[in-house]
Each structure stands twice: as structure tokens, then as C-alpha cells.
Structure 1
């Protein structure tokens, strides 16, 4: 066994880094025979590139400023790694749709090691097999099957809000975890609260480490040989915790359903349907197919239990900030429902609610920078050279806040999507950017949309949402601020959630009888 000192590790890292930079320079010269320029961007320094201007906090806002200087396509390097930031729907469509075969790969994120999350898998057969399994249970023609579960969860949610409205954030997480657990595994959230906690740990890690460059080890994989005890190696200790938790998230509920299936106590769900299609036997093919299916189920829980949580929390914030919007939505619900709780077949008669849902996805996008794509090969585009391995990101926030398409984009205004009382198809739909791009667009978006509709329509039918009051009875200001990270959530805020009437209270209490 070879034992390396700290000095040896630093020397080896320096040699590897220098070799990597030289190789990258030679490769670019060879793959750019027409000697095209790189896209415009901030000037960098030798070796470190644009390290000092590389945004580290709410990058989407900084890039939005850069677009006004450099245009809607920005290129820069950090330690030899190229980054291309796209700031308009036209650029995003050209790159991720028209050239999807070259821009559907993902970077290797060493900190994560979450191989079962197919949103981060390398582009290829393994990813396609995972996504196909997931898509079979979440495409538009089958998601209607989950509507009873989503209605039941929404009604449980308003009952919880009635009992403890101050815990609305907790109740939001609980409700969405409950609906996806029932759909995926046929289980209730009450018996799996520890699993929900593990999933939240996974998502917290994803929010921190989901973009390349968040940790230096993503730039220099050789750093993996640094031991855990090495000074400054806290990143490695974090990675070890995330890997341990991810093992639980990927396998524990799947194994629990298997045990119940063998005992004859499993409820019909997506997991049991997937298990039924696994080839018989204990051979490599059977084990591989089971790995894909268990991963697909875990993906469903991770995506469904938390990403919609951000949009619903933003909805509560928006209603407290925009009481006129809330009143218009409630007036429509009162007119259509006539004193009952909403169902899915009411949705076509609720254009303002549908416009409100679009605005909720546009106003504060959950993934403002989307997930990073990678150029599989060198490319020439719009007169510029894009090197192989370039990390390409679409700035969803900029696209969804473009004043040319959304007047006064920082305001919450569902009317922007309406014309003559109906949804205006000429207005850009926020889903062009809110769920990712190209072949890597989120396949769970239809389930998410249905959950959002059921939750929002139930809440507005029976509750008023208002800012909290201070000791003098004055409303406490709510600032619509979002957290940093790949997944962005509203910063902490308080609000009052008040039943609209005695009749509304009775509707809430009776909702358990309607399930």
C-alpha cells in the first residue's frame, strides 16, 4: 500500500491540474479548425479564469445583470471548466431542443453520488431506461388515476391548517409527502416520517451541491483521495452523510413494499406495478431491472414530495401580499362551486384559478437556473465556438421575468394570462422554463400541476390568507425573498390563515366524510 503525505497530495494535485489545463487548451485548438471566437463574457485570468466574478449567491440574478452587458449568451471559464449561460427562450430552444442530441448530457457531480436520481444521470441508455419506467406512470394520459389521492391529501391539508395554521409550512410538506407516498408506495406519511426526513436531507444536499462548481472536488476529482481527517475536508464528510442517507432513500421503501407484497398486505401502487413487470429469477438482468424500478420510485418521491412545496409556499406568500388577487380567485370559486369543495372536473370552469397557477410557477421558479446540461461534443453556434464539455445552463428566472413578455414581471398578476375571461394562448406559458429544458424536462410535471391545482383551489375556497400582525395590531411586512441554491424556497415569513366563514369551517370539518 502506498502512503501519501499531505505534501505529496498537494504536489500530485498540482501536476494533475496543470496537465488537465494543457490538455484542454490543445483539445480546443484541435476542435476549433475555423478559429471561431468563444461567446462573449467576463474576462478572466490565467489558470483561475473568471473565478473572482463567478456568482456564488443567487447566480440567476447576477447573470440577469450580465445579459444586459454581454447579450443573451454568456461564456466564461473557472479553472479550465467552461460555462455557457443562456438568457432567452430563443437561445434555450436552439440549444436544448434543436440540438438536443449534443446538449442533453449532465456534468459529473462528485459531491453527489446520487446515481439513482435520473435527473443527474449521464445521457445515454441507462438514463433512458430510468426515465421510461417513470414516464410510464406519470405521462398526461395516466396521471388522472392519482386524482382521488390528491383530493384526499388537499382535504387533509385544509383540516390540518384549521387546527394549527401557524405550522402551515410543515403542513405543506406533510401533504405533498403524503400524496406521493400513497401513489408510489401505497403507504401513509404517518408511518414513514423518518423517511420524509431523509428525503429532506437529500434535497437539502441537492440544493447546495446541484450545480457544478459548488464544490472544488467537482472541478478536480483527484481531490477524492484526500482523507476525511484532512484540514478543510468538511466537504468530504458532508458527501459521506449524503451518500448514506441516499442509500436509505433509494432502497428502504421499495424493500418495505416487497416485504408487504410477499406477505399479501401491500396496497396497489406504482411500486407493486413495477415489481410485477420485473423478469423472474435472480440473474443480473432481473437485478438490474429492479435497480431501475426502485430508483424510478425514489425519484418520484424526491420530486413530488418537495419541489411543489416551494410553489405552494410561494402561493401563500403571494396571497398575503396581493389581497385583490385572492379576492378575485375566491369570487370565481364561490360562483362555480356554490358552497362546496372543489373537484378536478371543476377545473375547466375556473380560468382565473388556472391563470393563478401559471403565475405561481412564473413568479418564483423553484429551479431558477434549472439543472446543468453539458455539451457532449464541440459545436459551432451563431458564429461562436462552444468547446466539448462546456456546462450549459438556461436561466429560467430571466426567461420568466422578461419584461418584453411579462409586463411588470416582479409583481404577482394572474390577469396577464387571461383575455376575455379565458386563458390567452398567445401569452408565453411558464412551463417553457419552469420544469427544465429539452429532453431533460421534468417528467413529473403533470402530477405536480394536478397537486398544485387541488391544493390551491381547496385553500382559497375555505381560507383567507393575510399578513401577520405585530404587538400594535399592524401588519408585518412580508418581503418576497427566496433562498439560494439549485432548489429555491421562500425565505421564512409569517401569515394569518383564517377560515372565511362558519360555513367554511364546517366544510373543512366535513371534508373527511367526503374522502
Structure 2
């Protein structure tokens, strides 16, 4: 074989580079034949893109500032990966609804799905048949025409909740999580929270991991999947050791209660629930098809528990914070409840007669959204939109916080004000419903939102009927200021705060004590 001179090597390298550049140029022109520009965004540098500009803490607030500079559609790259952030309902509707066939996929979530074991949760699955099968199973048990069958469970959990608040009001955060976990455990697995406290604790741990790793790029392995091969013991690989712990706990959350229901069904002790309904018509022939279908149904049940036990926790906790900060709103809602209920505890049949309370529930969803940045979608193919080019594989994220705090639609958006949803004492249909952003977008909107809404209604109405929520007092008897701050992460919760929760009257206290008999 003839040897190559340095000059020959340089020429050969130039040809290879030229061929690579030409291929990339041709590919780009093929995908972007009109040579349209990318949407505007922050300054980009070679290789790293906008790495130094991309926000790392409460990104929704920084993106909201960007919208005022670049418009309601901002594009940037980080290490070659494109991000498109949408900041208005109009953009989100165009992209996620009208062009849903191209924008319903999810990114490859390396840390979350491949390392932490969240691939059983259909919210993070890639768009396709596998996702549709999971969502269909879930939807069959949580669509708006069937969730009313869970109302007795939700009422019962709310009444246990107010009794627990009476006994130890300082533990209100614990009681919130306990009550909401109880209702979804009973609905999904036919079990009480008392016998599954360790399961709830595992779920809290894995959800904390979700909050930390849920946004693409939260960990570098999302950008550089080759990092998966780094051994656990390698210096700086703490992220991988954390992933291993989360993966182990996730396997418990996704499998343990499903297996318990199977054992109880065999013993004849299982209570009717979603899991038993799914298992009853599942063929047990040990075939690959049956095993695959069981995987789908098991995942759908775990999805139900995780969504119902956690999303609403943030909403209810924010409600407690809002009532302590806005006593006039609290008094107005209580007056409506007193008029309608006449000295009894609420039922779901009362809801049509409680317009102000319904407005308060909408404001609870809007004021401090659980998902201030919705889970990222991904463009399946290159697209042209409104004079811009959107490359294939772009991560597209709707900024729910910006939509729900748009002063054009919600005057004084940082203020908790249920009256914004009312006109002449009734819900005003012309006011934008927070549901357009609070539960995701397009085909990936959360199908558990109807159960969550019912849980929120039941919990809030019971609390307001029998309790006053007030700020804590310092040693001098002055109210301690509560700041409405929220945590960072995919799931956002109110930062730690304390409040006083006291019975409104002796009659209210008696209602609470009698509630355990209902």
C-alpha cells in the first residue's frame, strides 16, 4: 500500500470535510427549501449554542422575560439540540392542536426513561402505538363520563382529612398528601393508605426525582447519551448513582401494588377497583401477547396513582397558602358555602350551586401552576410556521406560567382573585379557562385532569366549610408574613410555610367529629 505524504493527508481531509459540509448543506436545503430563518432567540456560539444563556433555575420566569424581547416564540440551541419555547395560547394552539400530528412526540429522555425507569409512565413515552395503548387503558377509567363513580371515595377521604386537620393542624402538608393518596389508592388498587404508607413514601421519593430530572437537559446525559457508559464509581458520577436509586424505587412503585391486587384476587379478598377491572378480562395464558398487555395495564394503574396522588397535592397546598394570604376571598367562599349547605358538609351535588367556589378552584389552577413549564414535545419532522423554519427533532415547550399570567387576559395576574372568572354571579365563559394550559397541551394533555378536579373540589369545600386558615403568629402576636414562592423543577410546589388552621365554630367542630361516621 503506497504511503501518503502530509500534503496528501491534508487534501484527503479537506475532501472528507468538504463532502460532510456539502451533505449537511444539501440536507438543510432539502428540509428548508425556502431558506426560512429560525425563530428569534438569544445569541448563539459555535458548538455550545446558547449554553450560557439557557436558564437553569425557574426557567419559566426567564423565558417570560425573553418573550418580551424576542416575541412569543423563542428558539435557541444547546450543544446542537434545538429548543422552541412558546409563550402564548395562540402559538400553542397552532402548534400542539392544529399541527398535532407533527408535535405530539416526546424527546429521548435518557435520564428519566432509560436510567430512572420512568418509561412505564405514558406521559414520557414516545408518540406511537405503545403510548396509545397505555393512554387508552388509562382513559377508559378516568374520562369525564366515569369519574363520578369515584366521588364517594373522594368525599370519604376529604372527611377523614378534616378530622386529621382538627387533631394536628400543624401537619397539614402531611395530611394533604395522605388524603389525596388515600383516594387514588382506593380507586386504583382498592387499598387504604394506612396499609401502604411505605408505598406512598416510595412514590414521594420517585416524584422528587421526576421534579429534578423532568426537563430535557437537566442532566448532561440527556445531551450526551454516551455518558451512560460511565461507571458508577467514576469521580463526578453522582448523577448515575442517584439514577440507580430512583430506578430501584420506581420498580417498586410500578409493580408492587399491582402484584398485591393479583394475590388478593387469587385469595378472593380483593376489593373492586380499577386494577381488578383490568385484571378480570386479562388472558392468563402466559403468551407474549398477554404479558405485553399486562405490562400496559400495570403501567396505566401506576400512572393513575402517581398523577392523582401528587399533582393535586401541589394545588391543594397552594390553596392553603392563598387562603392565608387572602382572607377576604376565604370569607366570600365560606359565605356561599354556608348559604348553600345550611350547616352540613358538602356533596358533589352542591357544585352547580357554588359559582364563587368554582371560580376559586379555577384561580387555584391558574395562580401557581403545578407544571409551569409543560413537558417537552418534539417535532417529528421539519416544519415551516409563520415564516420560520422549525428543524426536525426540536424540543417544543409550552410556557404554561406565561399563559396563565398574561395580563392581557388576567388583570393583576400575581393576585389571587376568583372574581376574574365571574360575571353577574355566574362563571363567565368568555374568560380563558386555566385548563388551556394547566394540564398540558394537544394530544398529550393529562387525561387524569377530571379526577384531579374532583379531588380539588371535595378537599377545598370541606376545608372551607369547617375551618379558617390564617397566617401563624410570632412571639409578639403579630402575623408572620407568607411569601407565595414555589419550588423549581418539572413539578412545582409551594415553598415551606406555616399557617393556623382553626375550626370556624363549635358547630363546625362537631361536623368534623361526626364526619368520620359518614
Q: Same fold (TM over 0.5)?
A: yes
Aligned-residue offset at 1:112 = 1.4
Aligned-residue offset at 1:33 = 1.5
Q: Determine the structure 2 residue equivalent to 1:385.
A: 389
- Secondary structure of the equivalent of 2:77? strand
- Secondary structure of the equivalent of 2:112? coil
Aligned-residue offset at 1:201 = 1.1
Aligned-residue offset at 1:24 = 7.3
Whether the 8 Å contact between 1:37 and 1:384 is mirrored in structure 2 is yes
| Candidates 186, 203, 212, aligned match of 1:208 | 212
Unaligned stretches of 5+ residues in structure 1: 1-19
Q: Determine the structure 1 residue equivalent to 2:267.
A: 263
Task: Go from structure 1 to structure 2 and tell me whether the alpha carbon gap of 1:22 and 1:307 turns closer, same or farther (over 3 Å shift).
Answer: farther
Matched, 1:462 2:466: yes
Q: Determine the structure 2 residue equivalent to 1:395.
A: 399
Alignment of 1:189-338 (within 5 A): 189-338=193-342
Count of matched residue pairs: 496
Alignment of 1:46-125 (within 5 A): 46-113=46-113, 114-125=118-129
Alpha-carbon displacement from aligned partner over 1:302-342 (angstroms, at most 9, x marks no partner): 00001100000000000000000000000000000000000
Rounded Cα–Cα distance in structure 2 between residues aligned with 1:431 and 1:263: 43
Q: Which has the larger radius of gyration?
A: 2
Alpha-carbon displacement from aligned partner over 1:376-432 (angstroms, at most 9, x marks no partner): 000000000000000000000000000000000000000000000000000000000
- Secondary structure of the equivalent of 1:161? helix
Matched, 1:137 2:141: yes
Rounded Cα–Cα distance in structure 2 between residues aligned with 1:186 and 1:83: 42
Alignment of 1:334-353 (within 5 A): 334-353=338-357
Whether the 8 Å contact between 1:112 and 1:243 is mirrored in structure 2 is no
Whether the 8 Å contact between 1:481 and 1:490 is mirrored in structure 2 is yes
Length-normalised TM-score, structure 2: 0.94
Length-normalised TM-score, structure 1: 0.95
Matched, 1:436 2:440: yes
- Secondary structure of the equivalent of 1:47? coil
Rounded Cα–Cα distance in structure 2 between residues aligned with 1:197 and 1:21: 53
| Candidates 501, 509, 512, aligned match of 2:513 | 509
Rounded Cα–Cα distance in structure 1 between residues aligned with 2:491 and 2:21: 31
Matched, 1:356 2:360: yes
Alpha-carbon displacement from aligned partner over 1:111-144 (angstroms, at most 9, x marks no partner): 1121100000000000000000000000000000
Aligned-residue offset at 1:98 = 0.2
Aligned-residue offset at 1:21 = 11
Rounded Cα–Cα distance in structure 1 between residues aligned with 2:327 and 2:346: 21
Aligned-residue offset at 1:108 = 1.1
Rounded Cα–Cα distance in structure 2 between residues aligned with 1:191 and 1:466: 33
Task: After the TM superposition, list the runs of 4 or more consecutive aligned residues in structure 1 that deviate by more than 4 angstroms.
Answer: 20-27
- Secondary structure of the equivalent of 2:66? helix
Rounded Cα–Cα distance in structure 1 between residues aligned with 2:25 and 2:78: 14
Alignment of 1:176-187 (within 5 A): 176-187=180-191
Aligned-residue offset at 1:83 = 0.1
Whether the 8 Å contact between 1:103 and 1:374 is mirrored in structure 2 is yes
